Amino acid sequence: MKKYTIAFIAFLSVLHISVQAQSLEEVIENYTKVNGSQEQWDNIKTMKMDGKFSQQGMEFPIIAHMKRPNSVHTSIKVMGMEIIQAYDGKDAWMINPLMGKKDAELMGEEDAKQTKKQGKFEDPLLTYKTKGHKVQLAGKEEIEGTECFKIEVEEVDGDKSTVFIDTENYLKLMERSVLTNAQTEGAVIEAFFSDYKEVENGLLMWHAMDNKIGGQSMGTMIITKWEFNPKVDDKIFKMPK
Amino acid sequence: MKKALSALCGFVLAIPVVFSQTAELKGSALFGSLRARSIGPASMSGRVADLAVVNRSPHIFYVGAAGGGIWKTKNGGASFEPIFDKYPQAIGKIMIDQNRPDTVWVGTGEPWTRNSVSHGNGIYLSVNGGKDWEHKGLENSERIADIAIHPTKPSVVFVAVMGSLWKSNDERGLYKTSDFGKTWEKVLYIDENTGCTNIIIDPQEPEIMYAATWQFRRSAHFFTSGGKGSGMYKTTDGGKTWKPIRNGLPKGDLGRIAIALSPSRAGNLYATVEADTNSLYRSTDFGETWKKMNESFNTGARPFYFSLLVADPADHLKIYKPGYTLTVSRDGGKTFNTIGGATHPDHHALWVNPSNTQELLLGTDGGVYRSLDAGGSWTMFRNLPLSQFYRISVDDDKPYNVYGGLQDNGSWMGPSEKPGGVRNGDWRNVGFGDGFCTFRHPTAKHIVFSEYQGGHLMRVNLNDNSTKDIRPFPAKGEPDYRFHWNTPVALSPNNPSKMYLGAQFLFMSTDMGESWVKISPDLTTNDPLKQKQKQSGGMTRDNTTAENHCTIYTIAESPLDENIIWAGTDDGNLQVTTDGGKTWTNTTPQIQGLPKNTWCSFVEPGTTDKNTVFATFEGHTSGDFKPYIFKSTDLGKTWKPLATDDIKTFVWCIRQDTKNPDLLFAGTEWGLYISIDGGQKWLEFENGMPKVGIRDMVIHPTADALVMGTHGRGVLILDDISPLRAITSELLKSNFAFLPIKPQIIKSGGGFQDFSSAGEFVGENPSSNAKIMYYMSKRHMVGDMKMFVYDEAGKQVAELNPGKQKGINVVDWITRGKAPKAKMGTTLSGGAFMGPSLPEGKYKVKVIKGKEEFETVVELKGNPDSEYTAEERKLQQNTALRLHALTEKIGNLTNTLEYWIDETKKSVESNKIPASKANPFISKWEGFFKTLISTDKGGIFAGDEQLNEKIIELYGNVNSFPGKPSQSQLERTALFENEVKEAERVFTLMVEKELPAINSLRTKAGLEPLMKSKEPEGGQEVEGKKQFRKFMFRMGWLH
């Protein structure tokens, strides 16, 4: 698998296939070859992400756990305090000592939406046929000087995003979405992915994600380790009583 | 396997070399993260062509600027966001579908056809409130005056296309789409000289519509409003057939007409009609017959500029007339009252809130105003940087100031940066009327020259604000002097006391304009047919010097030879003298490919070779929008064209870099283009740069900044062009290459407390961080990419997030060490958030990219202009480091104590250790803890200040001043060192005596022993912290 992925990227680069017009199916097919198939992803039931959020020399450790179908638990440490956001498929909650609260509390509806998005396990580009997401190839667009396929995604739950896949490597270069949390409703956030590296199970995963709003970097998420199918206690997703 | 991975990565990375040839290069792929910044000003704002408000949510509205794009507010104007920067910035009409307010149509190209007007390229549609726009055709319409959306069928839209101001064209008249702009049908067309200016759909009976047509033409030297084509039309079958309306309107040719329909009374209409006598008419029978109501000044003034009427949404007898001022009639047009008194004159847009007709929004030549008392009083929005510069200049102060003149808003000077940002109040008014060339005298710092239209040159004394008119006048027997609307003034780059002024003759003064020497004959064609401005205007005479022609428009003396002077004229001459004005040669006959009499818009003598010259020409006033850039290397004997197809519209100005002669900048009507190869290839620069007209620009000789005067977006600055100087075709072939980095001057001084800028535009400052720049031939996607900075001893001082994009990457490095690992008590100690300044010296930057490593050096230098000696700065740095160490020591100590206390309390609560045994320790430790750090739960207002807070405050104070610490501060530092030493002595005793006692209890109870020391988590760089908070906020982590 590993060998095949890399060899395929090199193959694409040599041929420079990107100059030809391609259908959505062809783009997704190539994307799948590079990023892993649905079967590969189906085998993953839990995921752990270890990393840091880095901004101008500052670093904040982040650990996230995800579990199918849509549970997520994210912990970020700031100035020695741990902030937690989590969703168990039913309730989205948080603990935020930065705001002076040490107890868990339920999030408001808009804020919860953002957290629920983090819990999404599946890549709609891989599952759109089986799950019924609307996925549409909207031609090519240059993103920061690099040619990309532009793919509009509308998931069955109504979440919308635009995914840009670079035409040379078939890797996701950027994902554009609109923030839904109450304070910043309507702000467009662009997540730029890079530092793709192969991980234990042969998947090619990003290890750096730069978040930009209006072209200005808000900080970079750097992943030091991806783990697949680690043991995860269901309890962590539930709001502590 | 890993080996295979990296080998293949290298392979992948090596491929694109083949594809990145200069010829294929695009601006977006080269300029990477270089970005222009805006410093406004918004104090006086600029011309607004239209306003569109969501009637159901009036806090959401759009401002369509004449040359500055579209700005949207979602908060009633507390803040605005530019949402149309990728498209031409001249806006004609914005129309919201009020039934689906996220559907917004925009017609580009301003309809208020003054001499300086900008053009558009068709119609755009957004279905998400302006986030994304789709071009929907009418590409050659040049300007769109009105849009009407069918009240029940949203896909049906009518567009009033004015068409070209400068030439005949047939893409004009009334257009209809029934499929959201996929296809268009021309439903009303008069001829190739007549456009449509108004379209109104009857809201009750949408088959009934009214339209106005206008015959008009402008040239560089004449304007005609009116003719056979002008008229009013009505349809009763949804636009299939139109009949002219004439009953009650004046006989003979008409000019520009504005129609308004009263929504509150069926069939009630008003119209202003330009005719022999410009008047207001009213119809009460669906436009079948009209009655003259009024011919007051404001109803009839300048129809080409003010043909707008707005009917009150609730009262059919009330009609508003935006014009030179704003007037309103409350009796069906019989009489008018002025209500726009306190606003900038010249009104082009008005919205009356249908739910509360006391609320008005008004768009003027000087921004947007709101009234909440039906025009009794007005508030101006001071956050719309729409200023329209004609010309611009800079001085050599540090930081430098920018000078320039504006459309209808005088002349101004303002700083290029200011602590906290450049604010409206930082701009100083130094002129009147329409402003143009504005300069500071190179040596007499209190003298500024400014001018207003038609060559009214003034010398302004900044000390007492006095102004002296210093125009030259014709002597007996001389012809009248012809001064252009935008008269050129130029300073000699070689002789600070010499300045030039151009009429048809070139004048020179060496005494600040007290006297002038004529140093040329008439340099223009002096064509009498182009000097009829006194008859200009068509049906309404309009002679404001805007049509003055056959004049000198651009002047430049070679920076390398005082005797070489260039003068370009608006009628197509480019004259040169090599003997200081004794003899002149017109060089344009030698230029191949330039249509005769094309306006010379700019002349730029070579910066490194005195025989070289660059000139731009533009023919937009005769309908020729092609770019013309020419270069001569033999003083104009032969010329080479430099404009290529890369440039999409006409060119206003050109600059040659002072250090790399192949680096050229072209300011066009639609933004900035840059050439790195002497003009063979032009690349559009789009970062932070809207498609706005750049009328003038200057390269600051010492700041290496490109300062642009835009006609609609104020002053835009590209701060450091030095990376562009380093780009060569050789370098473009490399996968990764560092660009030369200028030594970073350690800045001193910051801002002061200021909360009053809310609601106001604040211009962005240049980044004060060191910038590490490199070029990559393709985006980094696969494998690690990291960046580290090391000091001379090889110690890592920073890890940075490297940019990964194709082209030039700029990485900001805050040149401070790590903030101390401080402990926060209940009283917040802000001083701990900042690290100490890194010392001067050379720092190594290393980039790891996959298996490859790249290195460069960044030098940090003291400010040579600093008032503080190197020795004093050294003392400051050492003292700050001593206090940094103290902050960490006290932090470690207090954090450890707190940890002991907390853990011991827990063990008591869980009944692991008996309270009787633990409590004496706890109370002793708490007592000690309280003397070291603030514990009062009252928080920031309780005023609790212990050793920890005192040390951090002193650290912050010493750290933020770049010179010698005060004697008191030095003494206090020594005092604190002793106090910390004493605290450590006490603490050490606790570690030796008390900790083992507790730990033995813990061990017995099966608990982990307590550690001897626990250091606090680090403080953070304060700027970074703000950014981080912003991010957390955006992501919903903070609420």
Of A145, A188, A195, the CB nearest to B805: A145
B556 forms bridges with which residues in the sheet?
B566
Going by the DSSP 8-state scheme, the letter that residue B765 receives in this structure is P
For residues B712 and B65, the answer to whether their CB atoms sit within 8 Å is: yes
Q: Which residues in chain A have Cβ-Cβ distances shorter than 8 Å to B1037?
A: 76, 83, 85, 94, 96
Question: In terms of residue numbers, what domain contains A34?
Answer: 2-237
Contact B1031 A219 (CB under 8 A): yes
Instruction: B907-912: list long-range contacts, CB under 8 Å, 24+ apart.
Output: B907/B1001, B907/B1002, B907/B1005, B907/B1007, B912/B1002, B912/B1005, B912/B1006, B912/B1007
Residue of B nearest to A111 (CA): B1036
- pLDDT score recorded for residue A185: 60
Whether the bond into B996 is cis, omega within 30 of 0: no
Q: Residue B851: what pLDDT?
A: 93
3-state helix, strand, coil in chain A (%, to 5): 25, 45, 30
Contact B594, B630 (CB under 8 A): yes
Query: Which letter, b or e, does each residue of B979-988 get, where b requires 16 or more Cβ atoms within 10 Å of its Cβ?
Result: bbeebeeebe
Helix, strand, or coil (residue B900): helix
| Residues B666 and B648: beta-carbon distance below 8 Å | no
Looking at residue A2, its pLDDT comes to 46
Residue A165 Cα, gap to closest chain B Cα (Å): 11
Angle ∠(B719,B723,B729) on CA atoms, nearest 5: 145
How many C-beta atoms surround the C-beta of residue B402 within 10 A? 29
A22 contact B CB<8A? no
Q: What is the CATH number of the domain that holds A230?
A: 2.50.20.10
- How many CA atoms are closer than 13 Å to the CA of A63, on its beta-carbon side? 5
* Min Cα separation B783/chain A (Å): 5
Average pLDDT, chain A: 83
C-beta atoms of A145 and B785 within 8 A = no
pLDDT at B536: 95
* DSSP of B807-840: EEEEEEE--B-PPP-----SS--GGGGSPPBPPS
Q: Please report the pLDDT score of residue B152 as a whole number.
A: 96
Distance of CA B698 to the CA centre of its chain: 16
- B-chain residue closest to A207, CA distance: B784
- Rounded to whole angstroms, how far apart are CA atoms A6 and B336? 78
3 state DSSP class of A99: helix
Dihedral over alpha carbons B351, B353, B358, B360 (to 10 degrees): -20
User: For helices A2-15 and A24-35, what crossing angle results, to 10°?
Assistant: 140
Tokens, residue B12: 């992948």
Contact B75, B758 (CB under 8 A): no
- B672: β partners: B667, B685
C-alpha angle B434/B439/B443, rounded to 5°?
155
Q: Do B812 and A197 touch (CB under 8 A)?
A: no
Beta strand B91-96 with B104-108 is antiparallel
What was the pLDDT predicted at A18?
45
Q: Give the separation between CA B235 and CA B230, rounded to whole angstroms.
A: 17
**Nearest chain B residue (CA) to A192:** B804
Q: Smallest Cα–Cα separation from B157: which of B191, B182, B135, B133?
A: B182
Asked if the Cβ–Cβ distance from B1037 to A145 is below 8 Å, we say no
Query: What CATH number does the domain located at B587-716 have?
Result: 2.130.10.10
Which chain A residues are within 8 Å of B782, Cβ to Cβ?
A: 9, 169, 171, 195-197, 204
Helical (H) or strand (E) element with B215: strand B209-218
Number of domains in chain A: 1
Interchain pair A2, B783: CB under 8 A: no
Residue A99 confidence class, pLDDT cut points 50, 70, 90: low
Query: What residues in B contact A145, CB-CB < 8 Å?
Result: 26, 28-30, 32, 779, 805-807
List chain B domain ranges: 387-471, 587-716, 870-1035
User: Which residue of A57, A146, A195 is in closest CB contact with B814?
Assistant: A57
Q: Please, what are the averages of pLDDT over each run of 10 residues along chain B (1039 residues)?
A: 31 31 73 94 97 98 98 96 97 98 98 97 96 96 98 98 98 98 98 98 97 98 97 98 97 97 97 97 98 96 97 98 97 95 94 98 98 96 98 97 97 95 96 96 97 96 97 96 98 97 98 98 98 95 94 98 98 98 98 97 97 98 97 98 96 97 97 96 95 98 96 97 91 92 80 79 92 95 95 93 94 88 81 86 96 95 87 93 96 95 94 94 96 81 87 93 94 98 96 95 94 75 48 47
